[in-house]
Amino acid sequence: MKFLESPPRFLFFTGKGGVGKTSVACATALELADRGLNVLLVSTDPASNIGQVFGITIGNTITPINAIPRLSALEINPEQAADAYRERIIAPVRGLLPESELAGIAESLSGSCTTEIASFDEFTNLLTDDTVYGEYDHIVFDTAPTGHTIRLLQLPGSWTEFLDAGKGDPSCLGPLSGLEKHKTVYAQAVRALADPTRTRLVLVSRAQASSLNEIDRTFGELSKIGIAGGFVVINGILPTLAGEEPLAQAVRDREAAAIVAMPATIAALPRDLVELKSGNMVGVTALGLLFSGAASGEAPARDRDAREIADEPLRTLVDDLERDDHGLVLCMGKGGVGKTTIAAAIAVALAERGHDVHLTTTDPAAHLTDTLNSSIRGLAVSRIDPVEAIRHYRDHVMATKGKDLDAEGRAALAEDLMSPCTDEVAVFREFSRAVHESRRKFVVVDTAPTGHTLLLLDATGSYHREIARQVGDSMSFVTPLMRLQDPDLTKVILVTLAETTPVLEAEELQQDLERAGIHPWAWVVNDSIAAARPDSGFLRQRAANELEQIDRVRAVADRMAIIPLLPLEPIGETLLADLTDGIAQPA
């Protein structure tokens, strides 16, 4: 592998969700440890699953991988990091201040701003603190999906610039009290990220146009902040099969065409191709074979004919949704499972049936226009762009809160609004508008990958609790969370693949939603090889490996749909309609 030749100390793996970043990062850590090097594998994804890959529990503390000498792992859990961060600030004054004041400090440290700062604090320490992390020859970062990785890697500069300029909004004073003293550390982190002798960026993709375009955008964004030089890994390439059937040949042709047409900037970077394995990338044995030419990553699947799977088209879910003439449909799940495609297919189907539909996304890395290539009557398409949301929010605050201030006051308010803490508030404000709109039309939301969706829902819950505290029993009120909890208005659809990790993560997401009083309405298993009923031995083994996961979904889902792997990517109105109706495409 080219990207493993003379690697620097820090390796960052990034890319669109679901392309196999975790598998590639874990296999890389294993390879470096096998070379006799001390390696720390770090996940910066709120929905981390490296513990699932190795079959052990990994949290916010360094955990040795006992099966692999010289390899340890760490998951930067946002909530655990925030708890530890709060404790570092409060502990020195505990016993010196009244409990009421301590409670006030804790309250000031309870928002998403603190969560972001705390995770970021740990991230920068990994880049700069040789006292704690100096024993590791390499630190391998398995990052969150691209939109949030860009945000994370921009933060050292964002916070450094902000702290140089001002003190921040009052809502951020608590978090910032523990942040400002680390300005030197953040400056060091910026230098480490920009130094190619210390940091290597590895852009992981599938052989799909949308995935390759995403890493091209990522590379451009990161180049702007000084992270130059990169390597491309195209993962999951379907190998040449003996007695190849039309489906396999169509998929291979589609992959080859995507690679030929990849953007010129990333086409010029060093590139590695990693073949798809017949088994899942779970366990040390499977990971050890990922970069090899071995055919399978696990033992043969149980003897069960996957071609017996029943047809369960997405159309049946659309039929149920249509019984109302409005409502909120939230497509949630792990990155890369096809939330954007499923959301677009549902929106198109409802619009084709004469309904007024608004399709939108909260995912910074989503591009709905890549899936819909024409306008459809009755369908409005938008994206909650964090940059635009922040600009609108700042303009709104300046026009309202700042309207009657003098020049000095307006300048101070404008400076406060430059805080990176503003982002979550601004995006939540736009999301709340979409929730409100669903009272009179269908609003279909393609959400950000799981961990960041939960942060958004947490903001929704925090807003609900604050309104309830302020209003008390004096008057009735309705918050976005109450609308999300209303099964007559909101339908949550969990999208997954028939693979171990996506299903496990979707199950955990369902549990998190249940704790928030939101019960998932349906599940969709996307890109199922079993549902495509293949003939070749390789694909039939992949299909048989799916059956256990499909059974797991069936056991927890109130209703479900299974979408077969299609020879052509479902882009455009016609192919999205075929996906919804379960119509097999010609190979």
Q: What does the DSSP 8-state code read for residue 423?
A: H
Angstrom distance (rounded) from CA 587 to CA 566: 8
User: ∠362-437-344 over CA atoms, to 5°?
Assistant: 50
If the chain, 587 residues long, is cut into consecutive pieces of 10 residues, what is the mean pLDDT of each piece? 94 82 92 95 77 82 90 81 71 75 64 58 78 90 59 50 47 44 66 85 90 87 80 92 79 92 95 88 85 57 57 92 90 82 93 92 65 78 74 81 84 69 62 81 79 51 49 50 79 90 83 83 94 85 89 94 87 83 59
Q: Between the CA of residue 550 and those of 334, 338, 339, 562, what are the distances in Å? A: 16, 16, 18, 9
**Bridge partner list, 120:** none
So which residues are the catalytic ones? 18, 20-23, 45, 501
Q: Which residues have C-beta within 8 Å of that of residue 108, sequence separation ≥ 6?
A: 171, 173, 174, 175
**Helix, strand, or coil here: 270?**
coil
Same fold, 2-289 and 311-580: yes
In the chain, the amino acid numbered 389 is A
For the 2-289 domain, the top CATH level (class) is: alpha beta
Q: Which residues have C-beta within 8 Å of that of residue 331, sequence separation ≥ 6?
A: 339, 340, 342, 343, 346, 444, 445, 446, 447, 493, 495, 524
> What architecture does CATH give domain 311-580?
3-Layer(aba) Sandwich (3.40)
**Bridge partner list, 232:** 203, 271
Domain ranges of the chain: 2-289, 311-580
Angstrom distance (rounded) from CA 400 to CA 385: 22
Q: How far from chain centre, in Å, is Cα 289?
A: 26
- The helix (run of H) or strand (run of E) holding residue 424 is helix 422-437
Angstrom distance (rounded) from CA 199 to CA 138: 10
User: ∠554-560-565 over CA atoms, to 5°?
Assistant: 100
